[in-house]
Amino acid sequence: MYVECSASDVGLMNTGAVEQCLEGLTIRTAVAVPGFKFDSVADAKDKTKWDAAVAAKQLFPLFEAEEWTSANTEDTVFEGRTRQYVTANGKKIITYSSFLGLCSYKALRSFNKKDMQLFEFTEDKAILGTINEAGEVRGQDVVLNIGQRLPATADRPPSALVTINYKDRDQLELNGAILRPEWNPIDIQGIFDVTLVQVAASATSVTFKAITGCAGGDAPLTSLEDADIVFLDVSGAPHVHSFVDADANGVYELTGAGFATGFTLGLDGIVTKPEGVYESPAVLVIDTTAPSV
């Protein structure tokens, strides 16, 4: 017979401590796809690395976390004559509420029951994650459960309950990283959906607006350049045009010849601007017969 017991015991560690480095309350989170990592602590504290990961759809900042509450379960034990036997390990579970409009709730719901990594942002501007022996920084391994959106009441805005199920209850406690960058992590934003809206169209001119949608406050995006858009004819080929920057009302213009109904206009993939990161989920189909708006 040959049996290997799990090596759960660790050596006793030194306990000298002049002060305790305590993190603050988690007030926001971000999730990353499995396998994502920052190569070093320096990279994990570099905002440009976070922005690049957001633009690459590797990392997704989520929404404000209210009512952060532990829902941990304890080990299930059998009481033996001289000792306790653990028959099932307890779980680390956190619940919180997010007060969300319909657009943001729909986006949050897309992460329901997905395997993700979780980074936590605290009220004292820290980032909570994990670190391995190679110095790589990752999030905690979790599965999110997104509850049904609850309607507003007289004393509470519309909200959704988020349950974080941590796969390893000791991942942060035994391999944690508390990072304090020079910038505020809660300022990291996700990708904004942009809707392109036709203002007018003819055979020689197309005018349009770029609106950041309900989660962006319906604000016009006025910093687009010609390289940020794709203008295609009915066969799907790029069509030659000249690009005119947005005017004071946020209206852009494309000029040229041979424009026709059925041409399409969209952003060229994910567009990064100083004020945010943008993507158009759907293209604008040009209609030269439509009245001006």
Read off the pLDDT of residues 135-180 as tens digits, 9 standing for 90 and up. 999 999 999 999 999 999 999 999 999 999 999 999 999 999 999 9
More confident residue, 239 or 89: 239
Closest-CA residue to 117 (of 103, 134, 99, 132): 132
Q: Residue 9: which pLDDT band, with cuts at 50, 70 and 90?
A: low
DSSP assignment of 101-133 equals -HHHHHHHHTTTT-EEEEEEEETTS-EEEEE-T
**Res 48 pLDDT > 80:** yes
Residue found by looking up tokens 């599965």 in the block: 143
From residue 9, give the alpha-carbon distance in Å to each of 12, 73, 80, 269. 9, 22, 21, 51
* For residue 110, pLDDT beyond 90: yes
- Residue 5 in this model has a pLDDT that exceeds 90: no
Pure H helices in the chain: 41-44, 47-55, 102-109, 171-175
- pTM (2 d.p.): 0.87
Q: 2 pLDDT band (50/70/90 cuts)?
A: low
User: Pairing between strand 176-179 and 115-122?
Assistant: unpaired
Cα dihedral 192, 197, 199, 204 sign: positive
* Residue 220 to residue 138: CA distance in whole angstroms: 35
Residues 6+ apart with CB under 8 A from 47: 181, 183, 188
Residue 72 clears pLDDT 60, i.e. is over it:
yes
pLDDT at 277: 94
Q: Which residues are bridge partners to 95 per DSSP?
A: 69, 163
Question: Could you give the 3-state DSSP secondary structure of residue 178?
Answer: strand
* pLDDT score for 258: 96
pLDDT of residue 13: 85
- Find out whether 27 and 65 touch, Cβ atoms under 8 Å: yes
Contact 82, 90 (CB under 8 A): no
User: Which of 75, 77, 248, 68 has the alpha carbon at shortest distance from 163?
Assistant: 68
Q: Report how far residue 117's alpha carbon sits from residue 139's, in angstroms, rounded to the nearest whole number.
A: 5
Residues in the chain: 293
Do the beta carbons of residue 143 and residue 113 sit within 8 Å? yes
Domains delineated in the chain: 26-187 (no CATH), 192-285 (2.60.40)
Q: pLDDT by residue (tens digit) across 204-227? A: 999 999 998 766 567 889 999 999
CA-angle at 286, arms to 216 and 200, nearest 5°: 80
Residue ranges of E strands in 22-107 = 26-32, 59-64, 66-70, 76-79, 84-88, 93-99
Residue type, 201: A
Per-residue model confidence (pLDDT) at position 20: 84
Q: Nearest CA to 278 among 75, 79, 51, 80?
A: 51
Could you tell me which residues are beta bridge partners of residue 61?
A: 30
